[in-house]
């Protein structure tokens, strides 16, 4: 009789250990899945932000390049496009950077010009990873640049 009790006790202990191992394994796998899903979500979010940042930077660059070249003889389509881009920028740029961008086109000077606007937007979009690039470091092209 004691033998049967010992065997029953051993079997129940083995069953309990098996159930505990099964539960631990499932808990561990669920935690691992959740961790991977969280990491994947962060990665996708970062990719989406980078794409959005590039798109916004492209809009600023396109606007600055177009607006800088507008002349009284420019086709109406160029003015329409410049207005569209300017209005798009007004919807998401902080007011100080938008005003700086507008001044860079309307009244360029050493402190506020297309290149300083580019740097301001760069700092806004890239935050701490924007580095120490200054307006003097940004390449720009125009007839006669580089000639003395």
- H helices of the chain, in order, are 2-69, 76-92, 95-106, 114-126
Answer yes or no: is 148 within a domain: no
pTM value is 0.66
- Total of domains in the chain: 2
Both tokens of residue 33? 């899945």
Could you tell me if 20 and 79 lie in one domain? Answer: no
**Cβ(85)–Cβ(66) under 8 Å?**
yes
Could you tell me if 65 and 106 lie in one domain? Answer: yes
- pLDDT higher than 70, residue 148: no
Answer yes or no: is 147 within a domain: no
pLDDT digits (tens, 9 = 90+) for 105-131: 999 998 889 999 999 999 999 888 889
Q: Which domain holds residue 18?
A: 1-34
Residues in contact with 103: Cβ distance below 8 Å, sequence separation at least 6, in sequence order = 112
Answer yes or no: is 39 within a domain: no
pLDDT digits (tens, 9 = 90+) for 27-82: 999 999 999 999 999 999 989 988 888 899 999 999 999 998 999 999 999 999 99
């Amino acid at each position: 009789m004691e033998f049967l009790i010992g065997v029953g006790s051993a079997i129940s202990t083995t069953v309990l250990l098996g159930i505990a191992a099964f539960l631990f394994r499932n808990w561990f796998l669920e935690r691992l899945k959740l961790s991977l899903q969280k990491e994947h979500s962060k990665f996708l979010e970062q990719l989406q932000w980078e794409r959005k940042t590039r798109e916004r930077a492209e809009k600023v660059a396109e606007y600055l390049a177009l607006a800088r070249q507008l002349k009284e003889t420019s086709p109406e389509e160029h003015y329409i496009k410049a207005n569209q881009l300017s209005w798009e920028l007004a919807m998401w740029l902080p007011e100080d950077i938008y005003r700086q961008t507008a001044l860079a086109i309307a009244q360029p000077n050493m402190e506020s010009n297309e290149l300083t606007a580019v740097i301001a937007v760069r700092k806004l979009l890239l935050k701490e990873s924007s580095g120490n690039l200054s307006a003097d470091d940004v390449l720009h092209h125009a007839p006669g640049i580089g000639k003395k």
